[in-house]
């Protein structure tokens, strides 16, 4: 079964959706503003005869027609980082501030971690966690190349993450860019379509629920948790949100993203979800010439209290 056919009822134009999924994905880099401004990177590309084009919705992203984000000197010097356009959305939604404490629950290989650190001006603390020790080496390499110094790397199962090794008990914000069935990456990884199974969707959804629940528990009252995946499957998106809304003290909040999206769905294959899942954003390849993506923003409930040393 081609899983993309499964999601045609969710899109406005099934033919355009399938055609976009069959096209190769444009290669994109993100400017690391800890090292250089977007204007300086443009100058460097011009000086080095590196062909590039703008990304209309984000000044700090550039498309590289040659498909080789690491094959130029701005990359080597840590001025840019290869990162798919839609991969930048969770960091934008989280909107971390200098001085905050942020948990990236599934961080490797570090694109979003380093984007978060950049947004924080390399101030405060980012705890970058992943359960795969091998993938953490790539995260460490990327953080070092980009000059990130405010990041602690941990190797735990995010579902049971413990703050005991840290000097604090809770975070101002958390990102759960969850492991998923990855159909949204089919433009760069066509094999995911052939390898897809519904059993895997159901299995990984349980993991996603556990990680998101732990992120809410680990975030202070009034703090923000962003949940994202690169799958179209409602079982891994809206159903996960619906579960955590019912079991944890949190709520979905409205937020804007700077490209074309559609709301989350409230019904799928006989299941219904909390109406607030419409505050989440679905990104389809044919709307923005990107990969597929899902992004939601939650506010943690409870009584807000001042946390010493946070948000300074």
Give bridge partners of residue 267 from the DSSP assignment: 272
Q: Is 182 a catalytic residue?
A: no
Residue 216, SS3 per DSSP: helix
- Give me the phi and psi of 24, to 5 degrees please: -60, 150
Tell me how far apart the alpha carbons of residues 263 and 17 are, in angstroms, rounded to a whole number. Answer: 16
Q: Considering the candidates 106, 182, 186, 230, report the single residue annotated as catalytic.
A: 230
Assess contact for 162 and 217: CB atoms under 8 A: no
Name, in order, each residue with C-beta under 8 angstroms of 115's C-beta and a sequence gap of 6 or more. Answer: 30, 83, 88, 91
Structure tokens at 249: 């003290």
Residue 208, SS3 per DSSP: helix
- Give me the phi and psi of 253, to 5 degrees please: -120, 155
- Give me the phi and psi of 12, to 5 degrees please: -80, -25
Q: Which whole-number Å values give the CA distances from 61 to 26, 27, 87, 141, in the listed order?
A: 12, 10, 11, 21
Strand pairing class (171-177; 101-104): parallel
Known catalytic residues are 230
């Amino acid at each position: 079964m081609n899983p993309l056919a499964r999601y045609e009822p969710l899109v406005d134009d099934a033919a355009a959706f399938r055609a976009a999924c069959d096209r190769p994905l444009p290669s994109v880099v993100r400017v690391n503003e800890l090292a250089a401004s977007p204007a300086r990177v443009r100058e460097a590309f011009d000086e080095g005869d590196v062909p590039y084009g703008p990304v209309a919705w984000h000044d700090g992203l550039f498309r590289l027609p040659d498909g080789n984000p690491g094959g130029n000197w701005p990359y080597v010097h840590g001025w840019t980082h290869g990162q798919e356009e839609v991969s930048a959305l969770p960091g934008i939604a989280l909107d971390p501030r200098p001085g905050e404490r942020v948990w990236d629950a599934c961080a490797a290989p570090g694109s979003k971690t380093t984007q978060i650190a950049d947004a924080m001006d390399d101030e405060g603390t980012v705890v970058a966690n992943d359960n795969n020790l091998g993938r953490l080496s790539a995260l460490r390499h990327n953080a070092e190349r980009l000059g990130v110094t405010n990041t602690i790397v941990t190797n735990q199962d995010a579902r049971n993450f413990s703050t005991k090794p840290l000097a604090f008990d809770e975070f101002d914000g958390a990102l759960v860019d969850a492991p998923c069935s990855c159909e949204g990456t089919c433009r760069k990884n066509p094999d995911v379509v052939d390898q897809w199974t519904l059993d895997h969707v159901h299995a990984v959804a349980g993991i996603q629920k556990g990680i998101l629940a732990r992120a809410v528990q680990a975030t202070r009252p009034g703090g923000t948790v962003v949940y994202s995946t690169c799958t179209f499957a409602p079982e891994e998106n809206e159903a996960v949100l619906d579960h955590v809304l019912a079991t944890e003290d949190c709520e979905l909040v409205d937020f804007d993203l700077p490209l074309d999206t559609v709301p989350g769905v409230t019904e799928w294959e006989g299941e219904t979800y909390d109406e607030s899942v419409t505050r989440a954003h679905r990104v389809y390849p044919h709307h923005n010439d990107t990969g597929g993506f899902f992004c939601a923003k939650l506010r943690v409930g409870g009584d807000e209290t001042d946390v010493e040393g946070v948000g300074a």
